[in-house]
Structure 1
Amino acid sequence: MFGINHGLIVTALVFAAAALARWRTTTTRVPAFLGGSRPFALLLGDSLTGRGFQPEHHGWVASLSDRYSRKLDLVNRGYGGWNSRWVLRALPHLLPRWGPDAAQCRWVTLWLGANDAVDEWAKQHVPLVEFRANLRAIISQLRAAFPEAKLLLLTPPPCDTDAWAAHRLRQGKSSERSPQQVGLYAEAVREVAREHAGGESAVLVDIHRAFGGADGKGVSSLTLEDGVHLGANGSDLVAGEVLRALDGLGLGVEACAEDAPGHAEIESAADIDRWYTRGVPCSGLRFTAMASTSSPAPAVALMDQMATDSFLSSLAELRSMPHTHVNEKPVGRAEKPNDFGVLVTLNYSREG
C-alpha cells in the first residue's frame, strides 16, 4: 500500500506588460531536500564527553558517530575540566550559533557532575544545591533552543580513588576526589531527571550505577590509569547505555533514515533525484515569463505554450517517476492597471 499523497507544488507567474515588445521564459529545477540542514545530535559536558572521539580508547562518541553515519551528525561540545557553572555561563554564547538549524537537533546528551563533585577547596567545586539548580537552568535553555530534541541526562561515574591519588601525586598535587562524593552528585542528576521525565522529553542514563555504584569497586577496569577518564571498556559501556536509551525513545540507529541512497539503489544518476523526492514535499520547478500584451487571451495562450514547450522535458521526467501524478490547472488571474497576470499551479503529488 502506498501512503497518502504528498504535494509537490509548482507555481508559475505569467506577467504581461503592454510596454514589453517580447517575452522570455526561464526554468529552474529546485532539488528536493529533507527540510533544511542535516539532522544532528548535541553532546554537552566535560572531558568525559570531550574525549569521546578518541579512537585509541574506543571513544563512546566516536562509536555512536560510526553507528549513525549517513543518518545524523554528532556535535561534540565536551569541555575538559568544566563544571555545571561554567557550562551554564557559556550556553548563551553557544546555543545561538545553530539558528534555524536548531530544528534539526534530534537528541542532546548532558553529562556533568564529575568536576562539580571535587572537594570544596578545588576551583571546579560546585556545591550540591547549586549543581541541581544549574542542571535545571541548563535543561531549560536546551529545551528552548532545541524544542523537538530528546534530552538524555547522564550521571557521573564513580572514580578509582587510589588511581587518581597516584596520578595527582605524580603531578605534585593532592587528590580532591572521592567515590562517595561523586555518588551524591549522581543522585542529584537522578532527582533532576525525575523532575523532567514528563512525556519522555528527558530520560536518565545512569552511568554511575552501570559502573558499579558509589563504592567505586571494579572501576579500574573501566578507566584509564588516572582512575577518572574512560578506558576502552568504560567507553564501550557508556556507548551501550546511551544506545539503549535512544532505542527506548524511538531514536535508535535503525529508526533513523539515511540521508542518501545506497549504491545498490542507483542504476543511473536520475535515481538519486527520485530517491530524494520519495514522499517528501518539494518545490520542484519554478518559472517566470513576461509577454507583450495588455489583454488576457495572449497571456493565457503564452501560459499554454510555456506548459507544453518550456516544461515538456521536465514534465515528462516527473510523469515518469513511479507513483507520481500530474495535474496542470490554472487557478487564478490578477489584473493591474498596466499589466495582466495569470497564476498557474501545477500540482505534482507523489505516493509512497
Structure 2
Amino acid sequence: MGITSQARHFQDAIILFGDSLTQNCTGGSFAYRMTYAYQRKMDVLNRGFGDYNTEWALSLFKRLFPLRFGRSEFPQIKLIVIWLGTNDAVLPDDSPTPVPEDAEYDTGRSVPLAKYGTNLNKMIDSFTDSYSEYHLPGVRIALLTPPPVVLSMRKPGQAKVDLDHTRKYKDECLSVGKQWSRKSGGRVQPVDCWKAITDVADGEKDDALRPFFTDGVHLSPNGYQVVFDELMRIIKKNANWKHLDPANIKATVPRYNAVTDDWEWDYEPTPVQERKD
C-alpha cells in the first residue's frame, strides 16, 4: 500500500507576469516587495521573464497558468499583475536579443503598437472569458504600463529605446486597461507606472528620473517602490479590490512566537489520501 498526498495549498495566490519583475532581487525588486507585503497571507508566484515581449509571453500561457479543469492542484489565484511593454517598445530596427528557441513567434523584440494592444487584450480575455480554458472566476487583474526611459543612462550595445516611442505603448496600455475596467466592472485596473514615477521625480527630464533607474530601462529599488506604492493605492481605493489589501487579509500561518494550540487556520490542510498500488 502506498500513500500519496494532494498538494497542500493553504494560501491563495498572486501571479506576477512580466518582463522585469525579477530585477534587483537582492531586496529592491517589485517581486520582493510584493512577497514581503503578503508573507503568511498569500503566495506570490513570480513569473518574470527578462527581455520578453508580449508576443513571446503569450507562448508561455500553457506552461504558466492552470487550465480550468484539473485546477484543484493549484492555489486559488486572486490577483494577476501583468507588466509588459518596455521590450515591445524597443525601436523597430534594434533587436539584439535572440528569439527564444521554443517561442511560437519569430519576430524581433520590437512589437508593433497595434499588435501590443491586441496581445494585452488576448491575455486579459483569457482570464476573464467564462468560456476560456484559462478562466479565473473573480480574479482581479492589474495592468501595469511601461515606465519612462532614460536615454542618457543607456550604453552602447544595449537595446535602443526612445522616450516618445515608449510613451505610445504606455498610452496603449492605459487605453486597454481603462476599456477592460469598464467592461469588467472594475475587476481589471490599469496602473500608470509612468505617471507615478514622473510625479515623484517632478518631470520627465533625465536628471530627475535617474534615481529611479539602474540603466535607463530597469528600475532601481526607488523606482520599484514607487510602482509598488501605486499598486497598493489602487487596491486600497477600489471597493471591490479591498479584500486584496494586505491589512485586510488574516495570516494563514502565525508568527513564530504566536503559535498556540488554539490558533485558528483560515484554510484546512488537504487530508492525506491512501492509495492501493
- State if a TM-score over 0.5 links the two structures: yes
Q: Show CA shifts across 1:155-186 (max 9, x none).
A: 0001101111xx2x1xxx26520011110000
Give the 3 Å change call, closer, same or farther, for CA 283–150 of structure 1 in structure 2.
closer
Compared CA separation, residues 145 and 103, structure 1 to 2 (3 A): farther
Mapping for residues 282-301 of structure 1, pairs under 5 Å: none
TM-score (norm 2): 0.76
Query: Displacement of 1:103 after TM fit?
Result: 6.0
Q: Distance in 1 between matches of 2:136 and 2:204?
A: 36
Query: How big is each residue's C-alpha offset from its partner over 1:127-151, in whole Å with a ceiling of 9 and x where there is no partner?
Result: 0010000000011123344222100
Is 1:161 matched up with 2:158?
no
Structure 2 vs 1, CA of residues 84 and 282 (structure 1 numbering), >3 Å: closer, same or farther? closer
Letter in 1 for 2:265: Y
Residue in 2 aligned with 1:72?
42
**Are the structure 2 counterparts of residues 188 and 216 from structure 1 closer, same or farther at C-alpha, using a change threshold of 3 Å?**
farther
CA distance in 2, matches of 1:185, 1:282: 44
User: Percent identity over the alignment?
Assistant: 24
- Is the CA contact 2:13–2:75 (under 8 Å) kept in the aligned structure 1? no
RMSD value, Cα:
2.7
Superposed counterparts of 1:1-352, under 5 Å: 36-47=9-20, 49-51=21-23, 53-55=25-27, 58-96=28-66, 99-101=71-73, 104-121=76-93, 122=95, 123-143=108-128, 144-164=134-154, 167=155, 169=156, 173=157, 176-197=160-181, 198-212=184-198, 215-217=204-206, 218-224=208-214, 226-248=215-237, 249-250=241-242, 251-262=244-255, 267=260, 269=261, 271-272=262-263, 275-276=264-265
Q: How far does the alpha carbon of each residue in 1:223-273 deviate from its partner, in whole angstroms, 9 at most, with x for none? A: 01x111111211111111111122232011111121034567655x3x13x
> Retained in 2: the 8 A contact 1:41–1:74?
yes
Q: Deviations over 1:96-141 (max 9, x none)?
A: 3782255611111000110000111222100001000000001112
Pick the structure with more helix per residue.
1
The 1:128/1:107 distance shift into structure 2, 3 A limit, reads same
Give the Cα–Cα distance (whole angstroms) in 1 for the partners of residues 231 and 171 of structure 2: 18
- Contiguous gaps of at least 5 residues in structure 1: 1-34, 285-352
1:50 CA drift (Å): 2.4
Q: Please state whether the residue corresponding to 2:80 is helix, strand or coil.
A: strand
Distance 1:136 1:114 in 2: 17
Counting strand residues as a fraction of each chain, which structure ranks higher? 1
Moved more, 214-223 or 233-242: 214-223
Q: Are residues 52 and 118 of structure 1, via their aligned partners in 2, closer, same or farther at CA, if it must alter by over 3 Å? A: same
CA distance in 2, matches of 1:77, 1:118: 21
Equivalent position of 1:305 in the other structure: none
Distance 2:60 2:158 in 1: 29
Letter aligned with residue 149 of structure 1: V
In structure 2, the gaps of 5 or more residues are 1-7, 96-107, 129-133, 272-277
TM-score, with length taken from structure 1: 0.61
Inter-CA distance 202–233: structure 2 relative to 1 (3 Å threshold): same
State the structure with bigger RCO (CA 8 A, min sep 6), 1 or 2: 1
Give 1:93 shift. Answer: 2.4
Whichever residue aligns with residue 251 of structure 2, its letter is: E
